[in-house]
């Protein structure tokens, strides 16, 4: 029972949609153990993708800051800073 792994979605919306599909499928019709493990692995990868996308979005928002006069300014994002 070898299943082909589909590529991960590129958008957070698509990833969340796929996660929802996985959860609904498992809840309504529990698959065989091997399929369940594959879905779990896919879900973990999707979760990681979502976390990375959210972190990137948060960092992009953080680099927009206000100067002393209250004007918005854009600062370059330094990806080396943790």
Does a structural domain hold residue 20? yes
Residue 55 resides in a domain: yes
Residue 80 lies in a domain: no
**In 10 A of CB 68, how many CB atoms?**
5
- Count of domains in the chain? 1
Residue 42 belongs to a domain: yes
Q: Residue 54 sits in a domain of what CATH number?
A: 1.10.287
Distances in Å between the alpha carbon of 11 and those of 25, 26, 50, 80?
21, 23, 8, 24
- pTM score > 0.85 for this model? no
Residue 58 lies in a domain: yes
Report the C-alpha dihedral over residues 71, 77, 80, 82, rounded to 10 degrees.
50
| Structural domain boundaries, residue 45 | 12-74
Residue 4 resides in a domain: no
Range 72-75 contact pairs with CB under 8 angstroms and sequence separation of 24 or more: none
In tens digits, what is the pLDDT along the chain, a chain of 82 residues? 455 567 888 899 999 999 999 999 999 988 999 999 999 999 999 999 999 999 988 887 777 766 556 676 666 666 665 5
Domain-embedded: residue 82: no
């Amino acid at each position: 029972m070898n299943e082909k792994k589909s590529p991960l979605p590129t958008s957070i919306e698509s990833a969340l949609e796929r996660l929802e599909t996985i959860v609904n499928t498992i809840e309504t019709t529990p698959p065989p153990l091997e399929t369940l493990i594959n879905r779990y692995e896919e879900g973990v990868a999707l979760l990681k993708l979502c976390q990375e996308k959210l972190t990137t979005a948060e960092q992009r928002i953080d680099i927009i800051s206000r100067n002393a006069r209250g004007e918005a300014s854009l600062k370059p994002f330094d990806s080396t800073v943790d």
